[in-house]
Structure 1
Amino acid sequence: MTHEAGWAHAPGALRGPSWLREPADPNALVPRLWSSTAHKRDGELVIGGVPVADLVADFNTPAFVLDEADFRARAAAFRDAFAGYHVYYAAKAFLCTAVARWVVEEGLYLDVCSDGELTVALRAGVDPARLGYHGNNKSYPDLRRAVATGVGKIVVDSFAEIERLGRVAADLGRSQKVMIRVTAGVEAHTHEFIATAHEDQKFGFSIAGGDAWKAVEAVLAQPALELVGLHSHIGSQIFDTSGFEVAARRVLGLHARVAHDLGVTLPEMDLGGGFGIAYTSQDEPAEPAHLAAGLTSIVEHECRALGVAVPQLSIEPGRAIVGPAMCTVYTVGTVKPVSLDGGAVRTYVSVDGGMSDNIRTALYDADYSCTLASRGSTAPPVLARVVGKHCEAGDIVVRDEFVPADLAPGDLLAVPGTGAYCRSMASNYNHAMRPPVIAVRDGQARVVVRRETVEDLLATDVG
C-alpha cells in the first residue's frame, strides 16, 4: 500500500537518487530525453512514424532504433549554429555507412580514430579531405593508409608518431597536414575516464610541461609535414562553455607564441567539444546556438588580447548528434521483487540485453531512463532497477527509474539516449549477438546494421 505522504516516506522504502522524482504518470515521456519524433500513441511508443511493436514484430529485440530525421536535424543545428566552423561528427560515437553519408549530406566533417572507422567512411564515399584522424597509437600501416588515402588532417599525439608520420609522408612523396593534440590542464566536470585535458592521462602534449612547444618544433622539423594548428579537447558530456575559457586562453597563448617566436602563423584551431546530452531528468544540455555564441566570444576575446587573428575554428560535438537520436528496445523477461534489510523491496526488471549492448552503466556509472513502450498502464509507479541477462552482478542497464507497477514479462521497455557509444562499444560477452540498428523515418523502417547471427559468432572460431 502506498503511504499517504508518498512512497518515499513509507517504512523501508527505497528512495533512489535525490534528483529522481516520482512521476504523476509513469507512461509519460520526458521530451528532452528522446528523439524529436518520439511520442506515445494510446500508450505505445512511436518513433519516426513507426510503432515500436511493429518494429519488434519485424526485427525482434534487443534492437537499436535510430531516428533519421532527428539525427539530421541535430547535425544541421550544429552546422548552422557554428556557421564558419568545421563541425566534426565523432565516428566513435556510432558509425555505419548510412550514418557517414548522412553526416556529409548535412555538411559536416568526420572524425575517425582507427583504420576500421576510416574504412567505413571511405566505403560510404566520404571525401578523405573531410576526415580528421585521431588516436594516441597510430601504427605505420594506419598512418600509411591515411596519408595515401588523402586524409585531410592527422592529429598527432606523441613524439614517436611525429617521427613515424614524417617518415611515412616522405616515403609516399606527400605533404601531410597535421594538428598537434595539446593538454591545457583543464579538468572538465565529468567522469574521470572521459575528462581528457588534465595532465595525468594518455592524450596529447602538455602545454604547462613544455612538451607541446617541443612537439611544435618537432613537426616543423619534418619537411613532409605541414603544421596547420593545435587541437584541444577538455572532455565529454559537457553542458556549458565555462571550461573552455581557461583552455582556450592557454591553447591560444601557445598559438600566439608560435606566431611571435617562430614566425609561423597556424591557420586553424580545433576546440574539441564533447557536448552533453540528457540521459535523465537531471540533465539540462545547452542548445547549439548558445554553445556557439559562448565559444566564439571566448576565442574572439582571447585573440584580441593576444593580438592575433582568429584562426579557422573546428569543433567536435561528440555524442550530442547521435546520442539522443537513438534508443534501445528490449523485451522484459522477468520482474523480481527482492526483499532487502529494513523491509525495503527492490524490483528488478530483467531484459533480453544488457552490458553486451550498453556497457556504459557498468563502465562509467552512467544513468539512464526508460519507459514502458508497448502499451499504456493505469498502475501506479514503482521504483525499479533494469538489469541485463549476463552473468555479472554489475550488469545494470538503468539503475533507478519509475515504471508502472504492472510491468510484466513480454512487455517492451525502451531506453533513450543510447545512440552514442552503446552499439560502438557492444560486445559478444556470454557469446551474445550484437543487436541491429534500425533506421526509421516517415513511417518507414530499414536495417542499417543487421543483427549478428550464430554464423557470425562462429566465423572466427577456427577450432
Structure 2
Amino acid sequence: MKQKYERPTIKKMNTGLMNKFGTRTDFDPVKDIDGVPVKNLIAEYGSPVFVLSEKQVRRNYQSAVRSFKTRYPKVQFAWSYKTNYLNAICKIFHQEGSWAEVVSGFEYHKALGNGVQGNQIIFNGPDKKEADLVFAIENHSLIHIDHFDELYLLIRICEQNNKKAKVAIRVNFDTGVYPIWDRFGFNYENGQAWTAINKIASAKNLELIGLHCHIGTFMLSTSAYSVASKKLCDLAKRCKVELQNPIEYIDLGGGFPSTNTLKGAYLPGIDTVPSVEDFAEAITSTILDFGFTSDELPTLILESGRVLIDDAGYLLGSVIANKRLSDGRRATIMDFGINILFTSNWYDHKISPAQEGSQYTEETVLFGPLCMNIDVVRESINLPLLETGDQVVVHKVGAYNMTQWMQFINMRPAVVLIDQNGQSHQIRKPETLEYLEMMEQIPEHLK
C-alpha cells in the first residue's frame, strides 16, 4: 500500500542539559498530539484525558506485519484484546487485517460485536466458562486449552452436543528466562504437553490444529523466542510423524516490549529494548531452519499487544499544586494518579511539559491526587518548574491503562482518538456519578 505523504518539518536544535549518560535531557514542551493542541484537547474533553493516535497505531501494526512477512511466507496477527479493548481501537486493528485474541467470555463477545468472524477469534485463558466454550464451538473459533480440567470439559461438551472443536494447547517450557511462566498451559520438559496432545488425538470430537505458547511479558531476550520456536516445532514434527496429525499453525503469543523504561533500569528503554525486527529474525529463522518442507511450514500467529499500541497513547493532565516535603524535595501534585495510570507501577514514563517554561529544572516527585501514600506517578524526575494549572503529557500509555484502570476516589476520564486527518473523536465518555451508581441497589429498610 502506498504510504501517505507527510510534509517534512524543520525544528530548531537546542543543546539543552546533559543527563548522566552524556546525552541531552529533553525538556522541549509537547504542545500538540498529531497537530491537535494539548490545550484544545483539555479544554474540550477535560483534564485528565487519554489521547490515542490512529496514525501511530496503524503505522506500528503495518511495520510489525512487514517485519514478519518479509521473513516468513505465512503470518497472521491477532490483536490482544486485554491490552486495550476499546472498540474503536480494536476496529482499527481489524481493519488492518488482525484477528482477535481473547481471554474471557466478555472479550469474546466484544470481538464478535466488532465484526470478527468466529473462525478468526483465538480463545485463550484458564477461565473459559462452559457456556463460553459452547458458544466458541458453535462459532468455529480456535480454542487454546490451558489445563486438563478444561480438556475434559471440552470433550464432554462436544460429546453432549455432537460438535467438533478446533483446538490447540498452550505449552510452557524453559527458555532460559526466569522465573518460568509455568502457571499456564502444559509443560514441555516433563512430558505433560505430549500427554495432553495424545489425549486430544484420541478424542473423536477434538481436532488438534495448533500449538501455542506465551513465554512472558515485556521480554527483552530474542533468544528466548528462538528456544520457544524450536520446541514448538519439535512438538509439531512429532504430531505429524507419530500421530499422523499435521499442525496447521504455531502461535508464539505476545510479550514483545515497548520502549518504555522499566523501573530500576540503568539505561532508558529506547536504548535497550530489541526491535520487532530483532524478534522477527529470531523466530522466523528458527522455524525456517528446523527442516520443514515448504508445504509443511505452519502458519505463524503473533498475539502482540503492548508493542503495537503503547507509544500511540498519551495521558494529558494538569498540575494541582506544589509543595516541599520534609526532606526538602520538591513535590508536584497532578490531577491523575495510579488509579488511571496503572503502568506507573512498572515504568518510569517519559513526562513532558505542555507549555514553554523555565530553563531551570529541579528533581521532583510527581504525586497523584489520591488519598494514599503509594499514589506516586514518578518517584524522581528532573522537570522545569511547573505551576498550578500547567499541563503535562505522559508518553507511551496505550497498553493496559484503559483496561486495568479503576474508579477509586476519582472517576475514569474520557478517551479521545485523533484520526489520520487530525480530527479528534471521543471514543469513551468520562464517567459520572450516575454511571458509577447504575449497578447499586438499596435494600428497602435503608431507603
TM-score (norm 2): 0.86
- Kindly provide the CA deviation profile for residues 299-353 of structure 1, in whole angstroms up to 9, marking residues without a partner as x: 222346x99943111112220111111011111112222242xxxx322221112
CA contact (8 A) 2:315 2:393 kept: yes
1:65 is aligned, of 44, 48, 51, to 51
**RMSD across aligned positions (CA):** 2.5
Q: Which position in structure 2 is the counterpart of 1:40?
A: none
Match of 2:302 among 297, 312, 315: 315
2:325 matched to which residue of 1? Answer: 338
124-133 or 276-285, larger mean C-alpha shift: 276-285
Equivalent residue in structure 1 for 2:357, among 377, 381, 401: 377
Q: Distance in 2 between matches of 1:52 and 1:25?
A: 22
2:8 corresponds to: none
Q: Percent identity of the aligned residues? A: 27
**Which of 67, 74, 89 is the equivalent residue of 1:99?**
89
- The 2-side partners of 1:44 and 1:259 are apart by 56
C-alpha distance after superposition, 1:275-296 (max 9, x if no partner): 1111147113333333322211
Pair 159,171 (structure 1): closer, same or farther in 2 beyond 3 Å: same
Tell me if 1:356 matches 2:342: no
CA distance in 2: counterparts of 1:175 and 1:366, whole angstroms? 44
Tell me, yes or no, if the aligned pair for 2:248 and 2:298 is still in contact at 8 Å.
Answer: yes
Superposition map of 1:219-298 within 5 A? 219-280=200-261, 282-284=268-270, 285-298=273-286
Aligned residue type for 1:289? E
Determine if the alignment matches structure 1 residue 324 to structure 2 residue 305. Answer: no
The 2-side partners of 1:78 and 1:426 are apart by: 27
Q: Deviations over 1:381-425 (max 9, x none)?
A: 222222212222221222332210x20111111111111001110
Which amino acid counterpart does residue 325 of structure 2 have in structure 1?
V
Question: Displacement, 1:25?
Answer: 5.5
- The AA in structure 2 aligned to 1:301 is D
Do the aligned residues in 2 keep the contact of 1:23 with 1:381 (CA within 8 Å)? no
Tell whether 2:349 aligns with 1:368: yes
Q: Which secondary structure state, in structure 1, belongs to the residue aligned with residue 52 of structure 2? A: strand
Question: Would the alpha carbon gap of residues 428 and 261 (structure 1) be closer, same or farther in structure 2, given more than 3 Å must change?
Answer: same
Does residue 162 (structure 1) correspond to residue 146 (structure 2)? The answer is: no
Equivalent position of 2:414 in the other structure: 436
Match of 2:5? none
Secondary structure of 1:423's match? helix
CA distance in 1 between partners of 2:139 and 2:406 (Å): 30
Asked if structure 2 preserves the Cα contact closer than 8 Å seen for 1:236 and 1:318, the reply is: no
Shift of residue 187 of structure 1?
Answer: 5.1
Report what 1:15 is aligned to: none
Change beyond 3 A, Cα 1:449–1:168: farther
Report the secondary structure of 2:43's partner residue: helix
Aligned counterpart, 1:108: 98
Tell whether the 8 Å contact from 1:184 to 1:251 is kept in structure 2 after alignment.
Answer: no
Q: For structure 1, which runs of at least 5 residues remain unmatched after alignment?
A: 1-6, 9-18, 29-42
Quote the residue 1:36 is aligned against: none
CA contact (8 A) 2:67 2:280 kept: yes
Secondary structure of the 1:336 match is strand
Indicate if the aligned counterparts of 2:30 and 2:393 stay in contact, CA closer than 8 A: no
Instruction: Give the 4+ runs in structure 1 shifted more than 4 A.
Output: 19-26
Q: 1:188 to 1:399 in 2, by over 3 A?
A: farther
**Which residue pairs with 2:122 in the alignment?**
132
Per the alignment, residue 386 of structure 1 pairs with 366
Residues 1:183 and 2:162 aligned together: no
Q: 1:102 to 1:173 in 2, by over 3 A?
A: farther
Number of matched pairs: 415
Tell whether the 8 Å contact from 2:119 to 2:139 is kept in structure 1 after alignment. no
Instruction: State whether residues 22 and 381 of structure 1, in contact with CA within 8 Å, keep that contact through their aligned partners in structure 2.
Output: no
* Bigger Cα displacement from structure 2, 174-183 vs 76-85: 76-85
Aligned counterparts of 1:255 and 1:22: Cα–Cα separation in 2: 49
- 1:207 is displaced (CA, Å) by 0.7
2:79 to 82, 89, 100: 89
Range with greater deviation from structure 2 (98-107 or 76-85): 76-85
Q: 2:403 aligns with which of 389, 407, 424?
A: 424
Distance 1:233 1:264 in 2: 23
Q: Which runs of 5+ in 2 are unaligned?
A: 1-16, 262-266, 443-447
Tell me how far apart the structure 2 counterparts of residues 20 and 233 of structure 1 sit (CA, whole Å): 36
CA spacing shift, 1:23–1:395, aligned 2, 3 Å: farther
Structure 1 residue matching 2:337: 3-state secondary structure: coil
What secondary structure does 2:27 align onto?
A: coil
The 5 Å alignment of 1:115-126 reads 115-126=105-116
Structure 2 CA distance for aligned equivalents of residues 419 and 250 of structure 1: 32
Q: What is the letter of the counterpart of residue 97 of structure 1? A: N
- Length-normalised TM-score, structure 1: 0.84
Q: What code does the residue aligned with 2:171 have?
A: V
Residues 70, 358 of structure 1: alpha-carbon distance in 2 compared, 3 angstrom cutoff: same
In the TM superposition, residue 370 of structure 1 has moved relative to its aligned partner by 0.6
Give the Cα separation in 2 of the matches to 1:461 and 1:139. Answer: 25
Q: Alpha carbons of 1:260 and 1:95: their partners in 2 closer, same or farther (altered >3 Å)?
A: same
Deviation at 1:456, TM superposition (A): 0.9
Which residue identity is paired with 1:453? T
Counterpart of 2:290, as a letter, is: E
The whole-number CA distance in structure 2 between the counterparts of 1:210 and 1:233 is: 18
Q: Is the 8 A contact 2:256 2:276 kept in 1?
A: no
Q: Quick one: distance in 2 between partners of 1:20 and 1:163? A: 57
Give the structure 2 partner of residue 38 of structure 1. Answer: none
